[in-house]
Structure 1
Amino acid sequence: MDKSKQRALTQWLKSQSSLAKPWLVATISIALLSGVLLIAQAALLAHLLHQLIIEQTDKFTLLPSFLALAGVVLARAACSWAKEQTGYRCGEVIRQHIRHLILNRLEALGPVSIQGRPAGSWASLILEQVEELQDFFARYLPQMAIAVLIPLVILVAVFPINWASGVIFLVTAPLVPFFMALVGIKAADANRKNFKALQRLSGYFYDRLRGLPTLKLFNRVEAEAEQLHLASHTFRQRTMEVLRLAFLSSAVLEFFTAISIAVVAVYFGFSFIGELDFGHYGASISLFTGLFVLVLAPEFYQPLRDLGTFYHAKAQAIGAAESIVEFLDAQPDTGTQGEATPDLSTVTIIAHDLEVLSPDGHVLAGPMCFSIQPGEQVALVGVSGAGKSSLLNALLGFLPYRGSLTINGYERSELDLTHWRQSISWVGQNPQLFHGSIRDNIALANPEATPETINQVMTQAYVDEFVMRLTDGLAHPVGDRNGGLSVGQAQRIAVARALLQDGALWVLDEPTASLDAHSENRVLETLSAATQAKTCVQVSHRLDSLTHSDQVWVMMDGKLVQQGPYHTLAETGPLAEMLASADRRNLDA
């Protein structure tokens, strides 16, 4: 990663910190207070030892000093606890904000763009990579200020007592951040590679886990296990490289810190035996002076050492931020969204020279022209890859387009998509149920629906046929991969969900493609009743059901090659060929 990109990512990370500025200021203030208490602790400790060793003062006379020292130690402990709490809150606020940005971006991109990457990589982006930003905001950013303020406060305390030790501190202090930066540049690049390897591993593992039955049936478990081993080995190598750099930088920082403290100790040692006579202000160097400065010496470098330790948090954050920023900024939009909210109690759709585009601008389907009047039933047929799903996704607002696609006289790009989608009842061929109960999944479009309304749509969609047999009824938990429900049962729940939405436009994407005969008949009965007097666009694989449609659209290679009533299109052209081909397959069967 070049330096300009690192600077840009660092600037982006710092810009996010404004969201948690009160917590950041609180963390720095508490640390500064702890630094002042540290000087008081060093002074009390040096005073007690000087009085006991040199002045031979009775220890009971020093009882107030002992109590003050205990109080300062407890106050510093409280400051450390409070600093950890405020630092954590600082990171928490920013992580929540960044996750919100990512989720909003995912919502804007829609399912077409999201399906272009493995689900595991999205999980890695939202969970692991955002989590890796925590220490940057909770520790590194506050430590940047603390590493300046605490040494400055210590210098203010040391210089009036002994200027020589203050000069030693000033001369040796820059060595720590200098070598920290040298190692940190390499660490940032190592962390970036590590996160890339983690994303690949997460996506690879999740996809293979979901497809385990398929791998077993095709005897590919061992081969895929070997590939997973190679991916995990790459991730291990990247991780070990990061750890190697972390240990290397820690050793370098500890070395120069130890050298600096040793120089201060040697200076005072030679001063006490009379070999050195400078650094003081006329008076001889006392035990109090030596102990005070030597106690503060490690603490002078400690904030710089902590900054070096937390510098790896910066390297981790830069590595994680690269993918996050690329996702938030570099991905193309799926199309514009307006603010128009027309009356959508009935729906008229007109397209002219419509071209459906991929997220990166390639033409997926079109150009095409069509019109759908209120209450009209349209059947869309064609082979796989003909462009049917692309057309539906443009209609739903998941893909951009060129040309004209008007809804009740408004371009789809001018509509508020939330308002537009509230008027759509959608049923797809692969029903997606979510963690929760069966009732939660039915009431997805209207969580405030009454029990009477829920029961009504359950009956209409024949969900009650199997819910009554479940011990928990509507409270039956639904988990990953539909939670033990069959595809037919899950599809009926999806139909009930669409009935509850009760949109003016119904979009049906092969809703019976994966169903058995019984479930297919039930779903078709429900949908036929629900779409009466409603505008409906249905992608269908059942050519025998086209006779009930007002229009039949035949798509080939992204174009609408036929439009019109079934009885007209069935006589000649692509639809007639499709019907003849279906008849031959039935005869062969």
Structure 2
Amino acid sequence: MTLQDDQIGAKVLNALVAPEQGALRKAAVLSGLAALLWPLQAALVAGALAGLLTDVAPLWSYVAGFALLGVLRAVLNHWSEGIAFTAGLRMTGQCRAVIVTREATRSTGPAAGTIAALAAEKLDLLLPYVSRYAPARARVMVVPVVILALAFWQSWAVGVVFLITGPLIPVFMALIGWAAQSASQRQMAEIGNLNDLLVERLQALIDIRVLGAGEAVVSSFAAAAERLRMQTMAVLRVAFLSSAVLELFAAIGVAMVAVYVGFSLLGLLGFGGYGTPLTPAAGIFLILLAPEFYQPLRDLSAAWHDRAAALAVAADWAEWQAQPAEPLLGQGASAARLAGPADIAVTGLRLRLGPRLLTLPDFQLAAGETLALLGPSGAGKTTLLRLLAGMLHPEVGQIRVAGQLLDDSTADGWRARLGWMPQQPHFLNASLRHNLSLGRPGDLSPALRAVAMQDVVAGLPQGLATRLGEGGGGLSGGEARRLTLARALHARPDVLLADEPTADLDAVSAEAVTAGLLALAATGCSLIIATHDEALAARMDRVIRLEPLQ
């Protein structure tokens, strides 16, 4: 990782944390006040022990003062941690809401596994950064400075020990922290890759079983899991190394203070004071301050890995936001149907696909007409369907539907009149009945009969109550395609957009799908079908041939 990458990650992370800065400042102040109570407690302990040595020991007052300060310190710590934790929960919740909102209203985007890993797993790593690292950083900026001043007040020698050993800890922590951050970023990337791999393999599970490729798939997944394990162990190795370095310097510093105080009280050392010998109370006070001088640095070191993980998440967040994606027209929400006949008029459509400019033909389609879009792969058939559904924005040209311009104000109402039959069937994690009806009332039998699927559904383990999974597990490709068509038949759309409805099907399945489409057209529904199937195209009212992109 370069310094520039670190600065970019820190900038993104600061932007994510910015809405909670007020709460974090309050938590930092409370945490700092709690830490600054220890010198007062240390003074009471030193006074009590020194009093015992001189037979002047009103212990009850020291004990009462120590206990009251301890209770106050615990209350402030609890209050601070609660504020920081709540702020972290709000921040991660807002980030997840942004992801869900954006992904729900755009037509293209990154791989689903990567997005799922970012939303479900990686964002949780921001919580330790907010709840632990931010308060620890605030304490480091205040507590060591106060303790250093108190140490110099009692003994310049102890102050010099703190002054020399203290800065060494953050220096080595920063050096090791860069390695930790690089390791964390590699781990975050591997988590996303593993999620993508799992999603792809689950989607292709039926094909994997048919091809007998289970062993090869398991081996590849095991190799990916092993890579993730190695990346995780690399992060842990760096974490243990940084902890060992920190504990070494902290132990050396505390030992040097204890040795100096001990030899001074024995009269073997005569330097370090300001013209008077070190008193027992001052010596005990300095020994009690020494661990607390290093404690904020130790807390920051422990939380440094939280910062490294948060920066890695911030980098993933920035990468996700930078992904080019075309938003849907409209809000992508339920809306009242757009009024008027379902006429379609396309004029002068142009859309840039990477470096190429796709030019689509003009046409008009009256309500109830059927149209086939023929052309080689990459000619723009699917793109035209997505444009007609308001899922893409044309760079040039316009689409008029039901006599109105298809734009943000009309897209939701227009989509309420559309049926969509994708090339790859997709089902919700719900019963087959819900997948076909999508909550609409009515008898599903006519739609199933129209696509010759009533016997297949009756043969499923639980009939219409069967859960198929997202990929339609247990069904052939043709059966899944026919169920998708049955869903469209039951919804009775005014226009059906079908993408390669007979692709990769045997003759019997293709004929069943074709018959179902014609049955839907007979009800007055307009059909716009993107296909390579010349026989299916010949049964449509009109055919438009798209030329391949140059």
TM-score (norm 2): 0.82
Q: Distance in 2 between matches of 1:95 and 1:247?
A: 28
Shift of the 417–130 alpha-carbon distance from structure 1 to 2, 3 Å rule, reads: farther
Shift of the 241–471 alpha-carbon distance from structure 1 to 2, 3 Å rule, reads: closer
Shift of the 82–497 alpha-carbon distance from structure 1 to 2, 3 Å rule, reads: farther
Q: Distance in 1 between matches of 2:479 and 2:52?
A: 84
**Paired position in structure 2 for 1:252:** 245
**DSSP 3-state at the match of 1:455:** coil
**Paired position in structure 1 for 2:197:** 204
Shift of the 81–519 alpha-carbon distance from structure 1 to 2, 3 Å rule, reads: farther
Gaps of 5+ in 1: 560-589
- The structural deviation recorded for 1:305 is 1.7
- The structural deviation recorded for 1:454 is 1.4
What whole-Å deviation, never above 9, does each CA across 1:407-455 have from its counterpart, x for those lacking one? 24766566565454334222324332222445654565xxxx6xxx513
What whole-Å deviation, never above 9, does each CA across 1:256-309 have from its counterpart, x for those lacking one? 222222232233223212344455566643322222221121112111122122
Q: Distance in 2 between matches of 1:531 and 1:72?
A: 84
**Paired position in structure 1 for 2:356:** 362
The residue identity in structure 2 corresponding to 1:41 is: Q
**Paired position in structure 2 for 1:584:** none
Q: Distance in 1 between matches of 2:76 and 2:470?
A: 45
Gaps of 5+ in 2: none
Contact 1:9–1:321 (8 Å) recurs in 2: yes
Q: Distance in 2 between matches of 1:407 and 1:55?
A: 98
What whole-Å deviation, never above 9, does each CA across 1:48-71 have from its counterpart, x for those lacking one? 3223344263xxx52353344344
What whole-Å deviation, never above 9, does each CA across 1:301-355 have from its counterpart, x for those lacking one? 11112212222222222223223212212x224268579x995543443334434
Contact 1:41–1:72 (8 Å) recurs in 2: yes
The residue identity in structure 2 corresponding to 1:424 is: L
Shift of the 158–467 alpha-carbon distance from structure 1 to 2, 3 Å rule, reads: farther
Q: Distance in 2 between matches of 1:196 and 1:10?
A: 18
Q: Distance in 2 between matches of 1:361 and 1:109?
A: 21
**Paired position in structure 1 for 2:541:** 550
What whole-Å deviation, never above 9, does each CA across 1:218-265 have from its counterpart, x for those lacking one? 454444444444434443443333222222222222222222222322
**Paired position in structure 2 for 1:5:** 5
**Paired position in structure 2 for 1:88:** 85
**DSSP 3-state at the match of 1:557:** coil
- The structural deviation recorded for 1:406 is 1.6
Q: Distance in 2 between matches of 1:33 and 1:498?
A: 65
The residue identity in structure 1 corresponding to 2:11 is: Q
- Select which of 512, 520, 537 maps to 2:528: 537
Question: Counterparts of 1:35-54 in structure 2 under 5 Å?
Answer: 35-54=35-54
The residue identity in structure 2 corresponding to 1:308 is: S
Q: Distance in 1 between matches of 2:513 and 2:234?
A: 59
1:395 aligns with 2:382: no
Shift of the 491–37 alpha-carbon distance from structure 1 to 2, 3 Å rule, reads: farther
Q: Distance in 1 between matches of 2:437 and 2:360?
A: 38
**DSSP 3-state at the match of 1:481:** coil
1:323 aligns with 2:316: yes
Contact 1:424–1:507 (8 Å) recurs in 2: yes
**DSSP 3-state at the match of 1:13:** helix
1:110 aligns with 2:117: no
The residue identity in structure 2 corresponding to 1:557 is: P
- The structural deviation recorded for 1:7 is 0.3
**Paired position in structure 1 for 2:495:** 505
Contact 1:492–1:523 (8 Å) recurs in 2: no
| Identity level (%) | 31
Q: Distance in 2 between matches of 1:472 and 1:213?
A: 20
1:421 aligns with 2:426: no
**DSSP 3-state at the match of 1:380:** strand
- The structural deviation recorded for 1:370 is 1.9
Q: Distance in 1 between matches of 2:522 and 2:81?
A: 59
Q: Distance in 1 between matches of 2:27 and 2:115?
A: 32
Shift of the 371–266 alpha-carbon distance from structure 1 to 2, 3 Å rule, reads: same
Q: Distance in 1 between matches of 2:406 and 2:146?
A: 62
- The structural deviation recorded for 1:32 is 2.0
Q: Distance in 2 between matches of 1:83 and 1:493?
A: 56
Q: Which has the higher contact order (CA 8 A, sep 6+)?
A: 2
Question: Counterparts of 1:365-444 in structure 2 under 5 Å?
Answer: 365-382=358-375, 384-408=377-401, 412=406, 417-438=411-432, 440-441=434-435, 444=438
Shift of the 294–504 alpha-carbon distance from structure 1 to 2, 3 Å rule, reads: farther
TM-score (norm 1): 0.77
Count of residues in correspondence between the two structures:
542
Shift of the 420–266 alpha-carbon distance from structure 1 to 2, 3 Å rule, reads: farther
**DSSP 3-state at the match of 2:427:** coil
- The structural deviation recorded for 1:476 is 5.8
- The structural deviation recorded for 1:398 is 3.7
Contact 1:375–1:534 (8 Å) recurs in 2: yes
